[in-house]
Structure 1
Amino acid sequence: MKKVIVVFNLLFIIGIPIYIIYDFIEVELDELPKGELLSEHSSPNLDYIAKAYLIDEGGATVRAAIRVEIDFGNDLKTIYWNYDESTVNIKWLDHETIEINNHKLNIFNDYYHWKKDPEWEENREVFNFFNYYSLYSIFMQVAESTYVRVREVQVQI
């Protein structure tokens, strides 16, 4: 009997902190902060409204996130949450299907949660590569045109 009590106490002592840590790390869509309203998009039949919010409360160490909720009139449901995004592109495909930043979702059955997407890190690396390349090419164009202007000024003098 003492062994059962000791095992039960050990499971209790170990299990409670594990559950608390898991509950802290595992965020559900209905627990997200509201954020700053970016845009509203009515469905084609005007029955629903997709509201996009920017969640940017982390300061310098946490990047912005996008949250999109559907307003059903008497109920709100968050269907999209993606980290490391600060812009949103929303397009209604029909009165039940919406495309949010290239993710097609049925507003009644689907949701996108970046932590549950096994390809999120790969997509992010590709996205960041193209953003880096774009910034690099813009920087090089500006630097090149500045250099050309400096050479023209030197020649004219």
Structure 2
Amino acid sequence: MAAKSTIKGSKRKKIVKISLIIIIFFMGFIGYGVYWAFFEMSRLPTGEYLTEQTSPDGTYTLKAYVSSPSLSSDAVRGELVFNERDGKTKNIYWSYRESTAKIEWLNNKTVVINGHTLDVPNGKFDFRSQ
């Protein structure tokens, strides 16, 4: 009788482990979906062109756009253009309740957008994560 309960116990443990793995996978999938839908900077609205400034060495150009959604305040999106990589772009700035963009390059790798200092190409500012 003891052997029979051990078999049932090991099956139960296996089922619990598989269930936990499925739950963790599902929660990860849902978490990524929420991030992708609401926080991924590549999904930002295009907006209307405002201005642009090129880095002192010409490697990057930062273009600013204003987005005016119908039910909320304006937002400014900053798009970094890699001039030496066939114009590849990357969103590095997203700020709510702004309608203008003041861009100033401090050097070849540092830009200030509306008072927010970013190191390019990997720095970014997103008001949603502040």
Identity of aligned residues (%): 33
Higher helix share: 1
Tell me the distance in 2 between the aligned counterparts of 1:22 and 1:108.
22
Maintained 8 Å contact 2:42/2:90: yes
Residue 8 of structure 1 pairs with residue 25 of structure 2:
no
Task: Please point out which of 63, 68, 76 is paired with 1:66.
Answer: 76
Residue 40 of structure 1 aligns with an amino acid whose one-letter code is: E
Match of 2:49 in 1: 37
Structure 2: tracts of 5 or more residues without a match:
1-10
Residue 80 (structure 1) shift = 0.7
1:68-125, Cα deviation, whole Å (9 max, x unpaired):
11111222121111111111111111111100011111112311111111xxxxxxxx
Structure 1, unmatched stretches of 5+, are: 118-157
* Structure-2 separation of matches of 1:87 and 1:55: 10
Q: 1:11 to 1:87 in 2, by over 3 A?
A: same
Matched residue, 1:93: 106
* Superposition misfits of 4+ residues, deviation over 6 angstroms: none
Choose between structure 1 and 2: higher strand proportion: 2
| Secondary structure of the structure 2 residue equivalent to 1:8 | helix
Q: Which residue of 2 aligns with 1:153?
A: none
- Which residue is 1:142 aligned to? none
Output the amino acid matched with 1:8: S
Name the SS of the counterpart of 1:33 in structure 2. coil
CA RMSD of aligned residues (A): 2.7
Rounded to whole Å, the distance in 1 between the matches of 2:126 and 2:116 is 11
TM-score (norm: length of structure 1): 0.60
Q: Does 1:48 align with 2:60?
A: yes
d(CA) in 1 for partners of 2:106, 2:65: 20
How many angstroms apart in 2 are the aligned matches of 1:55 and 1:8? 44
Q: Determine the C-alpha separation between the residues in 2 that align with 1:21 and 1:71.
A: 27
For 1:41, the aligned partner's letter is Q
- 1:33 deviation in Å? 1.9
Greater relative contact order structure (CA < 8 Å, 6+ sep): 2
